[in-house]
Copies of this chain bind each other. A is one copy, B any other.
Amino acid sequence: MNNYLITLGKKAKQAARFLGTASTTVKNQALKEIIQQLKMDKPTLLAANQQDILNAKETNLPEAMIDRLLLTSERIDTMCSDIETIIGLSDPIGTVDKMWKNEDDLMIGKQRVPLGVIGIIYEARPNVTTDAASLCFKAGNAIILRGGKEAFHSNQALVTSMQTALEMVELPKECIQLIEDTSRETAKEFMQLNGYLDVLIPRGGAKLIQTVVQTATVPVIETGTGNCHVYVDKDADLKMALEIVINGKCQRPSVCNSTETVVVHEDIADVFLPQLEKALEVFKVEIRADETARKFIKVSTLATEEDFATEFNDFILAVKVVQSLEEAIDHIDTYTTHHSEVIVTENYTTSQTFLKQIDAAAVYVNASSRFTDGSVFGFGGEIGISTQKLHARGPMGLNELTSTKYIIYGNGQIRN
């Protein structure tokens, strides 16, 4: 085992034990202190980030990646206002979800407690460092961060700043820790740090997430990948359908809840598809369509199996024509990543069948797939969108960063 990680793990466990029983007031004070410290440390943070940016340019990182890596004074302000939002969220810890009396006259309560120590593995977005840390912290958890090596200096400066703030309010600075060894080997050992990590959450692209799922022996929550579909039913309001598809594809194509494939009922394909093509032209969206769909579309390439399975995260849309609701559900069932799926229909029974049969974190009737988001759902923020079924599914807010314990009040009961 890796002694460095074990030391981090032990300190995190100690900090978690302390933080787990800290009051909401204390936790909010610490978050306020973090905001102040980050603002005060701006020069240091920006200088550290410049080092990362220089390295990135030297190693010819793609422009888009450099942009994600970049910190500016405004971006630090945004990170701070995100923490401000978290301060405003109500603290789930200590809440008793329900309490009942059993046949032995025991009072059994199910109480929210922190998960304990949360590990986050992510790529080169420094804002994840403060976002993840403050959300986990508010739910009473210690956090160990393992960010991408490209953002190392930025992350180090951010964590130092947050730790300084924690010490100011006399909380253990090990509530928030960064793994300073960014080697792959250490990352692998981190994924197998059983006994120290209560859960590991990967945040990033499909490849990172699959590596974590395959390698980890600690409990993992799979997040993120979204191959989302809109099914335009024969009974759809076509104007509404057009708006929902355009919004799903074009409003922000790079994110996981954007729409990747539109499935169209054959009865309305001849009317809907030409309208769709015209609307997509405005955004220069490339269409990859199946043979039937291509009869109604002027410019498109033939969609492959691969296209239907791909999360483009780009201005590309796959189009499939089906003969029935059942065929639509089958297609979605084959290619879904169980993130967000949409039906557009005015038919009551069709909508109910779709809601019942589609297996996804979020199933929509007559709304854009883009709404799957912790803030939109009313959770205030999110650590990611779970696409697995265990523990949490869909946007994970504060509540999903907690566990429960049973507290039992007796008066001398013994079991017969």
Contacts and interface: CB of A to CB of B under 8 A. Distances in A.
Nearest to A114: B389
Interface in A123-166: none
A19 interface: no
B219 A390 contact: yes
Contacts of A221: 390
Contacts of A246: 414
Contacts of A414: 243-244, 246-247, 251, 367-368, 370
A408 B371 contact: yes
Given A247-B414, A389-B116, A414-B370, A361 B407 contact: no
Interface stretch (A3-11, A262-270, A352-360): A352-360
Interface in A238-286: 240, 243-244, 246-247, 251
A237 B413 CA distance: 13
A283 B78 CA distance: 66
Interface string A373-410: 00011100000000011110110000000011111111
A190 interface: no
A404 B388 CA distance: 10
A378 B405 CA distance: 16
A377 B108 contact: yes
A20 B404 CA distance: 27
A361 B414 CA distance: 19
Contacts of A393: 403-406
Contacts of A365: 408-410
A389 B115 contact: yes
A415 B198 contact: no
Interface stretch (A98-106, A167-175, A289-297): A98-106
Q: Quick one: which of A361, A376, A406 has the most chain B CB within 10 A? A: A406
Contacts of A361: 405-406
B415 A368 contact: yes
- Name the prevailing secondary structure of the A interface residues: mixed
Given A355-B407, A390-B391, A366 B116 contact: no
A355 to B, nearest CB: 5
A62 to B, nearest CB: 27
A42 interface: no
Contact of A363 (B403, B407, B413): B407
Given A368-B414, A410-B364, A412-B244, A376 B104 contact: yes
Interface of A: 17, 20-21, 100, 102-104, 106, 108, 113, 115-116, 194, 198-199, 213-217, 219-221, 237, 240, 243-244, 246-247, 251, 333, 355-357, 359-368, 370-372, 376-378, 388-391, 393-394, 403-415
28 contacts: A17-B359, A104-B376, A108-B378, A113-B389, A116-B389, A194-B214, A198-B388, A198-B390, A199-B390, A219-B219, A221-B390, A247-B414, A363-B406, A363-B408, A364-B408, A365-B409, A366-B409, A366-B413, A367-B414, A368-B413, A368-B415, A370-B415, A371-B413, A377-B406, A390-B391, A393-B403, A393-B404, A394-B406
